[in-house]
Structure 1
Amino acid sequence: MASSMSGSTAARTVLITGVSRGLGRALAVELSKRGHTVIGCSRTQTKLDSLQSELTSPDRHLLLAVDVRSNSSVEELARVVMEKKGVPDIIVNNAGTINKNNKIWDVPLEEFDTVIDTNVKGIANVLRHFIPLMLPNKQGIIVNMSSGWGRSGAALVAPYCASKWAIEGLSRSVAEELPDGMAVIALSPGVINTEMLESCFGASASPYQTPEAWALKAATMILNLTAADNGASLTV
């Protein structure tokens, strides 16, 4: 990864999807502590309200109720963000979900659709409405949250694996479409003790690192990404 530690000191505006819990919430809190402006979205207003009180300098940030699965909802997000904060410097496409452990033929249709609609179409919706805002200045970093299961297979989570493999391919393809000065990166967070991990691992998820510990490292990495990282598949 091309990085410059001095790059992390400048205040940035960072849009993070899925900030109501887990990695997105921890990353939002960490970035606010470092003096950056957070634009966060989630489907649950009550969780956004509780996050607002955790952020350093809460009035500096913008938290909005958005369903990334809805193209029109993301379109409205882009309009409000431009009106209130301008073009984000960094976008972290973090919103995601996983199926309950099941063989593919036992995964309910609605559950399969929710995974694909959130993990793949949700990111595509953000790219559709925010990349055009970044193009005039030919700058901006987009981080698409992937997974180790986007680079390998695992029984009982085929829908989730399929969605994250899709993100790896989507990220590499979009990287070929961006002008010099911009970058899109697929980022695997490693194995973190989140609600999603608990749904797969049960009690054996507990020894893994917390989202807060992960966010300390992830924030530094994300803030130091540059255009030279375009198309990379990285792991925190």
Structure 2
Amino acid sequence: MSMIERMRPRPGLRVLVTAGASGIGAAITRAFLEAGASVLICDIDADALAAFAGEHPAVTTLRADVSSEAEVDALLDAAAERLGGLDVLVNNAGIAGPTGAIDEIPLEEIRRTLDVDLMGQFLVLRRAAPLLRQSEAGAIINISSVAGRLGYGLRTPYSAAKWGIVGLTASLAKEMGPDGIRVNAILPGVVRGARIEGVIRDRAEASGVSYAAMEAQYLANISLRRMVEPEDVAGMALFLCSPAGANISGQAISVCGNLETI
């Protein structure tokens, strides 16, 4: 096998991507489809699922909220039935959560952020693990954030969840390594798209500055002075599931242009 071939995932991988109908999840899904994988995606947005499936007929879709144990159970049952098993799990689902001081954020918003961003990954993992143990190329990619290695004022629920994902990843890599399953986290930075636009807008309002000023502040904190594209994160996901990534496990890998602070 040439080095170029080693950089590509083998065709036929059975892949589950949570929140795969838009943003980073959609970019990862497209990348795996292009690599010849069979892909099942879930999303909480039924309209987004329908639109994505219309553009990519090969994908299998199911509406699911990863914070619901019953819906996650149905999702993994669908993976076993429709894909015939599972080789790769991309734990991508998450929400931005609230922006505000710790004593001003409603408790229900804190709980919702932790339920989706952290507990949702646990719920998917506990059901995916038996399927992945039956694979000859088992890999888990948990999507965290640079907020999982840097403190993030006014975004404490989100940052706490993303730090939790890094700890979950490191621990699970030790637990599942003897089964031949690699577990890594990708930590995206400021990723171009609707979500970061909303985050910048909310933070600008909370800080009493304009959107343009807050956007400039975000870019100034990135060494490369540019946002990450969703396809940059997708490229890392493909690499981690390729033969070239066969001995990478337990890592939290930033794709952020070297975000210095947030």
TM-score (norm 2): 0.80
Aligned residues: 230
Quick one: distance in 1 between partners of 2:103 and 2:166?
Answer: 24
Q: Is the 8 A contact 1:90 1:141 kept in 2?
A: yes
Aligned residue for 1:10?
Answer: 10
What code does the residue aligned with 1:210 have? E
Quick one: distance in 2 between partners of 1:23 and 1:29?
Answer: 10
Runs of 4+ in 1 over 6 A off after TM superposition: none
Aligned residue for 1:217?
Answer: 235
What code does the residue aligned with 2:186 have? L
List gaps (5 residues or longer) in structure 2. Answer: 202-210, 220-225, 256-262
Aligned residue for 1:27?
Answer: 28
Secondary structure (helix, strand or coil) at the match of 2:174 reads helix
Percentage of pairs with the same residue: 31
What code does the residue aligned with 2:239 have? M
Alignment of 1:86-105 (within 5 A): 86-105=84-103
Q: Pick the aligned partner of 2:105 from 107, 121, 135.
A: 107
What code does the residue aligned with 1:230 have? S
Alignment of 1:189-228 (within 5 A): 189-202=188-201, 203=211, 204=215, 208-211=227-230, 213-215=231-233, 217-224=235-242, 226-228=245-247
- Larger Rg, first or second structure (1 or 2): 2
Deviation readout 1:99-149 (Å, 9 max, x if unpaired):
232111111112111110001110001111010122244641000001111
Q: Is the 8 A contact 1:17 1:24 kept in 2?
A: yes
Aligned residue for 1:128?
Answer: 126
Q: Is the 8 A contact 1:99 1:107 kept in 2?
A: no
Quick one: distance in 2 between partners of 1:229 and 1:216?
Answer: 16
Quick one: distance in 1 between partners of 2:135 and 2:38?
Answer: 20
Quick one: distance in 2 between partners of 1:38 and 1:105?
Answer: 42
TM-score (norm 1): 0.88
**Pair 190,13 (structure 1): closer, same or farther in 2 beyond 3 Å:** same
**Pair 220,5 (structure 1): closer, same or farther in 2 beyond 3 Å:** farther
Q: Is the 8 A contact 1:66 1:74 kept in 2?
A: yes
Quick one: distance in 2 between partners of 1:217 and 1:208?
Answer: 15
Q: Displacement of 1:98 after TM fit?
A: 1.6
Aligned residue for 2:254?
Answer: 235
**Pair 122,191 (structure 1): closer, same or farther in 2 beyond 3 Å:** same
List gaps (5 residues or longer) in structure 1. Answer: none
Aligned residue for 1:50?
Answer: 51
2:148 paired with 1:150: yes
What code does the residue aligned with 2:102 have? I
Q: Is the 8 A contact 1:42 1:48 kept in 2?
A: yes
